[in-house]
Chain A
Amino acid sequence: MLALNRIHATRIVATPSALDSAQWPDDRLVFRIAADEALITPPMANAVVSDPYAIVVADSGFAGAWLPMEEALPLLEHACEWELPRERPAFAQGSVAGIPAKLWIEKDRVLLIVPAPFVADFEERMA
């Protein structure tokens, strides 16, 4: 059974150009969840973007789980109406099993992310 854990992250809302030009260390996963918003994990308390009004906050509002590709694909075939991106790695967002989800797809594994308040429902639906 799928078990999701809270993701410790930094959430940044800034102008799209500030996010475009920001440099992120290689050991971080940076998800661009909107043109003006990025989610960085593990967290970066000292994240810098060139926008004086940027909102930079620690965030534990999401939960996620890594799945090997061969487990993820059949699950997603049932739970996901939309077509997964074909390039690797890829970031995608959309409804998965009726819950707003984010997918980080690497060559041989997938990170499934949902807002923490939906974890119980998500785990049950993906079981």
Chain B
Amino acid sequence: MRLIVDGQPIEFDAGDSALIAMLRAGIHPTGGGCLCLGGDCPHCLATVDGVSYTRTCETPARPGMIVERHPREGYPPLPLNNPAAAEEVKARNVHCDVAVIGAGDSGKAAAEEAERSGKRVITLDAKRGQEVVGVYPGPLVVARTPDGMLHVHPREEIIIATGAAEIQPVAPGNDLAGIVTARAASQLAAVGVPLGRVVAVGARPENAEATVADGQLIRFEGNGKVEAVIVRGADGNEKRIECDTVSVGLGLSPRDVLLRMGSGLAIRAVGNAAREPELPACPTSGVVCSCSGVTADDLQRVWDSGFRELELVKRATLAGTGPCQGSVCVPHIRSFLKERGGELQAPFTARPANRQPTLGEVAAGAHHRATPRTALDAEHRRLGARMDRIGGWWRPWNYGDTRAEYWAVREAVSIGDVSTLGKMIVSGPDALELLERLYPTQVSTIAPGRSRYVLLLDERGYVLDDGLICCDGASRYGLTFTSGGSSFAEMWVRDWAETWNLDVRILNQTMSLGAINVTGPLSKELLARAGFTRPMRHMEHTMATVAGVECRIFRLSFTGELSFELHHPAEQSAELWRSLMALGTDLGIKPHGIQTLLQLRLEKGHVIVGQDTDFDSTPRRIDMEWAVRLDKADFVGRQAVLRTNKAPLDKQLVGLEMDAPAPVEGAVIWRGSEYAGYVTSSAQSHALGKAVMLGWVKLFDGVLPTELTIDGRAARRVSLPFYDKEGRRARA
């Protein structure tokens, strides 16, 4: 069996990791540095099958696997065309009582103990391919495994049994190949990797032949590969011992990163992971952090500059910010700072990721915010609509010919999908009381069968939303909200009802009801053909059957033309839509999209909350004080409106017009050379033959300017609406 390293095939044995295979072939993955074979050091990282920074010690060798060593200088390239990585990774959720991380002796014991007391236990171990990425609030333990991500949800406890890492040598020459930790030496011997002459510094490797070098490690010598190790004996003399491999046993440091990462959770460490760290000797020379190439001299340099805190030393040298996350260097840096400053500083914050997952792995199980579709979605697409996300829904932006859509509304008849409107029923003995307190209008004067356009204000007197209140009797009302505002509005209404402890029932029907707006001078004719002939007054609503579908019909107008809004069970939307289209063919019916609707309402000067309003839009600023009854009892925002009305008005949303072409929405408005405001809505009016706009304009010395400049051209402030000033068409 062979894998490919830097283009060269090499043999491997069954059970080999990619690292062992490379070592058998005499290849050091990173050219040099003490190998630990335990996942702690950064010295076996390589690009495996297109994914860089892969720990080859924990990657089982596979036939045909492609290993590329990282460049010695600089970094691996961004994988800008990596087809291998296009595969979707899946995440699996598992639930248990106790999660044990580490299946060594202490982990096994902890798992058995928990199982004996009837707990559901899940044990994860990197040696079995389950690399724990992090421990998170939830609690959640995330692991990468060969067949996807594992999201472990332990109800009760997380037990860290990850053991201890071996302290790495810091001495000149520690970046040579041929240096391994004592445990690694045993493992390599066990699988028959040829080690040559082995010299042991410190604790000797188990089950491996080694000459013991008595004394303190001074340096390694060699050219690329270690040839000798120099130690200072008890007699103070340096001794040079020739060798092919140095085994280093300098003590243990607990693998407690996950424990520290999980602080605040029900988590504890057992076994070696819970031991006190052994502090290595203060480093005097050699590489301390091989991830960032930081030497003992660098530590001294930043110390001399005044970087005294462990965190600042880290930030100044970047030691500890590489793929091993400080597991190699932190013990040495702590030792250095203790020697210089006298104080043993706590290791720096443990941050995920403990083992580096790819973005593809981490994204597993994530989804984009889903964008809801109305029951008419297929109709729109069939009619060739360009769909856009509007107010959080997929809606038809246009059907290809906005001019035709426009004229169908103004001169004939058109239908539009307004199913996305927020729709709510409020019922109960306190229904009226709730609405009186929520809305700035006198709700009690809305008679059954009538509806009213309303603003919704927040406590600061700013406009939150707008919509309708329809009265169905003294204890039952229907409310509508804007498409984008409806989920917030639902929370708002429910929260206040609860806060005031009012006796009401609330049902949100937004997703259950479809709504079609039938608009245009021929809309009455179209409805008559659909079987509805009852006369309705403006702002009236009634129940009736239209083309066989039971509807609640509202007579109202947003487009400026005679209009009826048909609310009906969502499942009948398509049927109703098609019937209306068929019945209106010879009337010139066309559906209109949102782009056209925005222009139609702009010509009528109707405000779109969120587009024309800002976070600080009071009723006075949007020139809609008529919608606010300050003389009624308290309502949300009343105090604020009273207070803010005392200050002089500073800016107002106004109507503006100018010659074509229409400026872009957002264009800056000037009064001479002074900033006056900006345009919020703008369109070239087909009916009026000029550009019409809404925009914010500042008052100058208490006066709204009339003559303005936009895009270097003259614009005028005018009264609203632009179209059909007397409102005859809508009331026809």
Contacts and interface: CB of A to CB of B under 8 A. Distances in A.
Contacts of B308: none
Interface stretch (A49-57, A64-72, A103-111): A49-57
B507 interface: yes
A117 to B, nearest CB: 3
Interface in B569-608: 569-572
A115 B92 contact: no
B507 to A, nearest CB: 5
Interface in A90-127: 97-99, 115-118, 120-122, 125
Contacts of B194: none
B559 interface: no
B225 interface: no
Given A115-B372, A116-B570, A81 B365 contact: yes
Interface string A63-87: 0000000000000011011110000
A36 B505 contact: yes
Contacts, number: 92
B148 to A, nearest CB: 9
B511 A14 contact: no
B512 A121 contact: no
Nearest to A18: B505
Given A61-B512, A117-B374, A53 B93 contact: no
B370 interface: yes
A118 B93 contact: no
Contact of A118 (B153, B370, B425): B370
A2 interface: no
Contacts of A14: 505
B690 interface: no
B717 interface: no
Nearest to B571: A60
Contacts of A78: 90-93, 365
A14 B450 CA distance: 25
Given A60-B570, A61-B570, A83-B153, A55 B425 contact: yes
Mostly helix, strand, loop or mixed at chain A's interface? mixed
B367 interface: yes
Contacts of B368: 98
A8 B572 CA distance: 12
A4 interface: no
Contacts of A118: 370, 372
Contact of B512 (A11, A99, A120, A125): A11
B505 to A, nearest CB: 4
A127 B151 CA distance: 20
Nearest to B429: A53
Contact of A97 (B367, B427, B505, B506): B367
Given A13-B505, A53-B428, A78-B92, A99 B570 contact: no
Contacts of B537: none
Nearest to B377: A120
B375 interface: yes
Contacts of B428: 53
Interface string B144-156: 0000000101000
B489 to A, nearest CB: 17
Contacts of A13: 425, 427, 505-507
B117 interface: no
B509 interface: yes
A32 interface: no
Contact of A54 (B151, B365, B505): B505
B506 to A, nearest CB: 7
Contacts of B91: 78
Interface in B447-472: none
B111 to A, nearest CB: 20
B371 interface: yes
B427 A53 contact: yes
A60 B512 CA distance: 6
B511 A61 contact: yes
Contacts of B505: 13-15, 36, 51, 53-55
Interface in B380-402: 393
A6 B377 CA distance: 15
Contact of A81 (B93, B369, B393, B425): B93
B95 interface: yes
A118 B428 CA distance: 31
B373 interface: yes
Nearest to B505: A13
A120 B569 CA distance: 19
Interface string B120-155: 000000000000000000000000000000010100
Contact of A59 (B151, B365, B512): B512
Contact of A121 (B370, B507, B513): B370
A1 B650 CA distance: 59
B93 A6 contact: no
A66 to B, nearest CB: 19
Interface in B66-93: 90-93
B387 to A, nearest CB: 12
Contacts of A80: 93
Interface in B13-54: none
- Specify which of A36, A59, A118 lies most central, judged by the most chain B CB atoms within 10 Å of its CB: A59
Contacts of B506: 13
Contact of A83 (B95, B393, B431): B95
B427 A57 contact: no
Nearest to A115: B511
B367 A116 contact: no
Interface string B205-226: 0000000000000000000000
Contacts of A77: 92-94
A114 B665 CA distance: 38
B358 interface: no
Contacts of B571: 6, 8, 60, 116
- Specify which of B368, B503, B569 lies most central, judged by the most chain A CB atoms within 10 Å of its CB: B569
B495 to A, nearest CB: 15
Interface string B484-507: 000000000000000000011111
B475 interface: yes
Interface in B315-372: 365-372
Contacts of A37: 507
Given A78-B90, A83-B95, A57 B374 contact: no
Interface in B394-422: none
Contacts of B377: 120
A80 B94 CA distance: 10
Closest 8 CB pairs of A and B: A61-B512, A98-B367, A117-B372, A60-B571, A83-B95, A121-B370, A13-B505, A53-B428
28 contacts: A11-B507, A15-B505, A37-B507, A53-B427, A53-B428, A53-B429, A53-B431, A53-B476, A54-B505, A55-B476, A55-B505, A57-B425, A59-B509, A60-B569, A61-B509, A61-B512, A77-B92, A78-B91, A78-B92, A78-B365, A80-B93, A98-B370, A99-B370, A115-B372, A117-B372, A117-B373, A120-B373, A122-B370
Given A61-B513, A117-B375, 8 more contacts: A15-B505, A37-B507, A59-B569, A60-B572, A77-B93, A77-B94, A78-B92, A122-B370
